[in-house]
Structure 1
Amino acid sequence: MTASRPHALFSFGTLMDERVQTTLFGQAVPTSPASLTGCTTRPLAITDPSVIAASGLDVHLTLEREYGAVVEGAVLRLTDQDLAAADAYEVDDYVRRRVLLSSGERAWAYLDAKPLRPAARIVIVGDSIAYGRCDPQGGWAARLAATHIAGNEAEHRVFQLAIPGSTLAEVSEQTPALLAPRLPDTLIVAAGINDSAVPLSAPELDGLAHIADSLGSLAAAALDHHARLVVVGPTWLDEERTRDYGGLRFTKARALAVREAIRVWCQENHIDYLDMWEPLYEKTDLLVDGLHPAADGHEALYQHLAALGC
């Protein structure tokens, strides 16, 4: 890969076609065979006339997770301009994300825009809300697990590893050692509300300073295990009802700052971000203590998450 072609893009479909390359990039681009483990493909109907005209096909392929499977394709070496043209070519059903190829090379690939739809083996890490505190049914994560496993009992798995009280820094430290035995293809990180907490003994401490480093570490760990990172944002809290938890004070302003910091980092680093603020917004009756959702609150979170991610 030369300095003028800094981007490696894994293609398993129409971008391998030299006619499509010529249409998009003005010429055929340097290409070499490559493969992606842990995936298979499924058809995706295309309705965009310009994409159909460029490829000559109204059905393209998208990736589906399948442990032990391999997708054969090619790595395209692209310039900045080429990559922008490829982004414009792909329809809204796809998003560009990092993948780890069978060779060990990291590359871009266009994946399903709904990050949980192609998932098979999901690991969930996070805090007390992800854990399901205050809900005897296990919270939104347990609802997600039930639906996901019911979809394919033989192949689908969900590993709920959230720990109440965890910050993003703690999650980033604990998670790498948990992944290998579970063979995940999707890592859901649902933490952040504890990062918004202000210590009453030291209110000048900035709990936001480590967010980028923590998310970067989690992204690297996920990619090392061929897993797609999905970050779930913090939920709305009722500041008038939250009490001090172990010398910590939770405020809406700080929670919003964490939410924005996570959203911006995910956008800049091409990581899936699922915003969870709105389902509970100003619905204080769905919260037990102003912070933790009741059973109805978790149901609302699950329905919102399912619409965004599945």
Structure 2
Amino acid sequence: MLINPSRKAPHPTVTASRPHALFSFGTLRDERVQTALFGRAVPTAAASLRGYTTRPLPITVPSVIATSGLDVHLTLERAYGAVVEGAVLRLTEQDLAAADAYEVDDYTRRRVLLSSGESAWAYLDARPLRPAARIVIVGDSIAYGRCDPRGGWAARLAASHIAANEADHRVFNLAIPGSTLAEVSEQTPALLGPRLPDTLLVAAGINDSAVSLSPAPPAHDDGPAHLADSLDALAATALAHNARLVVLGPVWLDEERTRDYGGLRFTEARALELRESVRTWCRRNHVDYVDMWEPLHGRSDLLVDGLHPAGEGHEALYRHVTAVCR
């Protein structure tokens, strides 16, 4: 069993000198580990995290084993109705960097919502779909599965995810063809409550990269320069439900084959700009990003109209998502 210090500091207020709250359910609660990492014990208070349980994770990195004294740590797994008891550590920027260096590659730092309502960092499974149970997918026509009678990569993901645990696993595909990220961010909050999601998969944005063919200036521009607001809103929505946000980037398109869609033209240059904008936002905000560009890159034969994947294209996207995320 991992050591849980019996002597706790009073619950402190986060200050400029300790701006980070980190939820620990394992070895970081041990004062010996804290001293080894931070040079001292840090302010700590009891806390809990709903909707999760733990499972053992074998550790093979010698330096981590030497610091913790254990070759098996814990990792979090989603479980509706469960609670993990732990502690909140109050850390400086330097402390947080040391904690990041201590955690093995099986973990990644993401935002969670504690039972108290406080937002905190926690180290979660580096593969976001491996601990998931209830997944909601929001997005555009590609996430919807247009041009594939089998329902696209999302339907394939749903089938395999539910087959792994029919009793507890659910996938809800709420994608709407033609949606921009702004529209997805506006529509999503009302959709999540009844579905009790633990993972929110956002697969939208290609419509934001379209260039208007109208000579009149658009009333508003949802292009790559304006994506951050929509992604910020989706991150806040996911956190409010304690759901992990996973953002899928745009797929490759063959602009020589794409036609005009309702006065819009899709170009590879704009799609690449979108890809980089989304990837940069995810990196800065510690949000999972899945690059969907490469599986179809240069494979025009896998696209029906230069934009929408055919069945084989969706199969390639499904294999890529599962290889990266599960």
Matched, 1:178 2:201: no
Q: Secondary structure at the match of 1:71?
A: strand
2:22 paired residue among 9, 27, 36:
9
Matches of 1:17 and 1:135, distance apart in 2: 52
Matches of 1:235 and 1:45, distance apart in 2: 35
Matched, 1:283 2:296: no
Alignment correspondent of 2:233? 217
Matches of 2:281 and 2:63, distance apart in 1: 32
Matches of 1:113 and 1:2, distance apart in 2: 29
Alignment correspondent of 1:126? 139
Partner letter of residue 40 of structure 1? Answer: T
Alignment correspondent of 1:79? 92
Matches of 1:9 and 1:219, distance apart in 2: 18
Alignment correspondent of 1:169? 182
Q: Secondary structure at the match of 1:209?
A: helix
Matched, 1:300 2:316: yes
Matched, 1:116 2:129: yes
Alignment correspondent of 2:263? 247
Matches of 2:105 and 2:225, distance apart in 1: 33
Q: Secondary structure at the match of 1:129?
A: helix
TM superposition shift of 1:61:
0.5
Q: Secondary structure at the match of 2:305?
A: coil
Report which stretch shifted further, 96-105 or 1-10. 1-10
Matches of 2:22 and 2:244, distance apart in 1: 16
Residues 258-282 of structure 1: CA deviation (Å, up to 9, x unaligned): 0000000000000000000000000
Q: Secondary structure at the match of 2:90?
A: strand
Matches of 1:77 and 1:203, distance apart in 2: 53
Unmatched tracts of structure 2, length 5 or more? 1-13
Matched, 1:34 2:50: no
Alignment correspondent of 1:104? 117
Q: Secondary structure at the match of 1:273?
A: strand
Aligned length: 310
TM superposition shift of 1:3:
1.9
TM superposition shift of 1:202:
4.4
TM superposition shift of 1:210:
2.2
Alignment correspondent of 2:10? none
Partner letter of residue 84 of structure 1? Answer: A
TM superposition shift of 1:203:
8.0
2:102 paired residue among 89, 99, 105:
89
2:209 paired residue among 192, 196, 210:
196
Alignment correspondent of 1:160? 173
Report which stretch shifted further, 204-213 or 287-296. 204-213
Residues 73-132 of structure 1: CA deviation (Å, up to 9, x unaligned): 000000111000000000111110000000000000000000111000000000000000
Structure 1 residue runs of 4 or more that deviate by more than 2 Å after TM superposition? 202-206
Matches of 2:22 and 2:157, distance apart in 1: 32
Alignment of 1:231-242 (within 5 A): 231-242=247-258
Matches of 1:45 and 1:203, distance apart in 2: 60
Q: Secondary structure at the match of 2:280?
A: helix
Matches of 1:238 and 1:95, distance apart in 2: 34
Q: Secondary structure at the match of 1:210?
A: helix
Partner letter of residue 200 of structure 1? Answer: L
Matches of 1:165 and 1:238, distance apart in 2: 18
Matches of 2:216 and 2:98, distance apart in 1: 48
Q: Please report the RMSD computed on the Cα atoms of aligned residues, expressed in angstroms.
A: 0.9
Partner letter of residue 297 of structure 2? Answer: Y
Matches of 2:268 and 2:156, distance apart in 1: 27
TM superposition shift of 1:208:
2.0
TM superposition shift of 1:14:
0.3
Matches of 2:71 and 2:225, distance apart in 1: 47
Matches of 2:277 and 2:15, distance apart in 1: 33
Matches of 1:304 and 1:15, distance apart in 2: 34
Alignment correspondent of 2:11? none
Unmatched tracts of structure 1, length 5 or more? none
Matches of 1:58 and 1:203, distance apart in 2: 64
Partner letter of residue 230 of structure 1? Answer: V
Distance change in 2, residues 1:202/1:222 (3 Å): farther
Matched, 1:256 2:269: no
